[in-house]
């Protein structure tokens, strides 16, 4: 049995779909507050849906019984965030640390964890990811840590200032640095492929898209796809530094730090990863054509 934690999220839902399509058993952990429509989608896939919460150890104990592999894509950010209740510290850090411990106690053999590459600043979400990675490496479990860079469908969307329906784009930093945007659909592919890959055992894999593309070049791609010029707004690093210093809310601080990471990101060489996982990666061009159609 494969337990998917974060099953109603973008990556988690796609992981469940891919596993079900390949005939592998799926147990999907959902919260009591999960979107009922998404829960029904999981059931329609044939997943065994169990209710639980990363902050509830007893529910994790029940969810892990009889499980051979855990894939965790769960995060309080951005849509499940509740100040003082469901936060990067309580869910992404303490909750996921508990999940690793409970998995080991229940004889789970394998753990696939979706993380992101290290960034310069300390912030709640990064602190959580690094703590869980360290716990996994010392757990005795066979682990795969997938450090995925900026999701195409999130960071090139209105949710983060890339307002392509209105032909506007907010760029963090100069916009000249190449970023290896990756589709969440491809992250799900890597997670599922990790279950059967010998090379992925006890490995940390840096994940990006097929090539590094600067935000300015991304805008050109969207302009070509739409036939319209975009209005571009730049947020300088100095302004982001000020926001980070002033931020006290865990989500706000983490989000600003991720913007700073965007401003200094570099492209990821995927040669080694694609040798381990021979997958065809989705391009920014294809994404632009699909959303601007």
Domain positions in the chain are 2-292
Maximum Cα interatomic distance, the chain, rounded to a whole number of Å: 57
pLDDT in tens, 61-75: 999 999 999 999 999
Average pLDDT over residues 137-150: 98
Q: What secondary structure, in 3-state letters, does the chain show? A: CEEEECCCCHHHHHHHHHHHHCCCCEEEEECCCCCHHHHHHHHHHCCEEEECCCCCHHHHHHHHCCCCEEEECCCCCCCCCECCCECHHHHHHHHHHHHHHHHHHCCCCEEEEEECCCCCCCCHHHHHHHHHHHHHHCCCCEEEEEEECCEHHHHCCHHHCEEHHHCEEEEECCCCCCECCECHHHHHHHHHHHCCCHHHCCEEEEECCCCCECHHHHHHHHHHHHCCCCEEEEECHHHHHHHHHHCCCHHHHHHHHHHHHHHHCCCCCCHHHHHHCCCCCCCHHHHHHHHHC
Give the model's pLDDT for residue 269: 95
Give the model's pLDDT for residue 87: 84
Q: Check: pTM over 0.75? Answer yes or no.
A: yes
Q: Which CATH class is domain 2-292?
A: alpha beta
Average pLDDT over residues 25-31: 97
Average pLDDT over residues 272-289: 95
Give the model's pLDDT for residue 29: 98
Average pLDDT over residues 83-112: 93
The token duo for 232 is: 């571009």
In the numeric block, the tokens 């849906």 are attached to: 49
The token duo for 71 is: 């894939």
pLDDT of 85 over the 90 cut: no
Chain centre distance of CA 150: 8
Give the model's pLDDT for residue 17: 98
- pLDDT band at residue 39, thresholds of 50, 70 and 90? very high
Give the model's pLDDT for residue 66: 97
pLDDT of 77 over the 90 cut: no
pLDDT in tens, 152-188: 999 999 999 999 999 999 999 999 999 999 999 999 9
How many CB atoms lie under 10 A from the CB of residue 278? 8
Average pLDDT over residues 212-224: 98
- 230-245 in b/e burial notation, b at 16+ Cβ within 10 A? beeebbeeeebeebbe
- Residues 102, 64: Cα–Cα separation, whole Å: 7
**Alpha carbon of 94 to those of 65, 124, 127, 163, 250: distances in Å?**
20, 11, 11, 34, 14
Q: ω into residue 78 within 30 of 0, thus cis?
A: yes
Give the model's pLDDT for residue 83: 78
- pLDDT band at residue 268, thresholds of 50, 70 and 90? very high
Average pLDDT over residues 269-291: 95
- Residues 280, 123: Cα–Cα separation, whole Å: 33
Give the model's pLDDT for residue 157: 97
Give the model's pLDDT for residue 177: 98
């Amino acid at each position: 049995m494969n337990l998917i934690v974060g099953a109603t999220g973008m990556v988690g839902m796609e992981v469940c779909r891919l596993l079900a399509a390949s005939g592998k058993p799926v147990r999907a952990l959902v919260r009591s507050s999960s979107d009922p429509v998404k829960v029904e989608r999981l059931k329609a896939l044939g997943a065994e849906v169990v209710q639980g919460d990363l902050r509830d150890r007893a529910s994790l104990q029940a969810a892990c019984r009889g499980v051979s592999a855990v894939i965790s894509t769960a995060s309080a950010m951005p849509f499940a965030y509740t100040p003082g209740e469901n936060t990067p510290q309580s869910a992404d850090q303490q909750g996921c640390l508990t999940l690793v411990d409970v998995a080991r106690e229940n004889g789970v053999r394998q753990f696939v964890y979706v993380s992101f590459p290290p960034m310069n600043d300390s912030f709640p979400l990064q602190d959580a990811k690094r703590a869980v990675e360290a716990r996994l490496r010392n757990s005795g479990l066979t682990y795969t840590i997938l450090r995925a860079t900026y999701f195409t469908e999130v960071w090139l969307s209105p949710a983060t200032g890339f307002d392509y329906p209105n032909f506007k784009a907010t760029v963090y930093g100069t916009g000249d640095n190449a970023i290896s945007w990756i589709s969440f659909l491809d992250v799900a592919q890597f997670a599922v492929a990790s279950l059967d890959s010998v090379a992925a055992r006890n490995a940390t894999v840096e994940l990006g898209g097929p090539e590094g593309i600067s935000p300015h070049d991304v805008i050109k791609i969207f302009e070509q796809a739409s036939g319209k010029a975009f209005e571009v707004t730049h947020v300088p690093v100095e302004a982001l530094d000020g926001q980070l210093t002033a931020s006290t809310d865990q989500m706000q601080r983490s989000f600003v730090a991720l913007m700073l990471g965007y401003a200094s990101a570099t492209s990821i060489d995927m040669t080694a990863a694609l040798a381990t996982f021979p997958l065809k990666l989705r391009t920014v061009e294809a994404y632009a054509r699909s959303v601007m159609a």
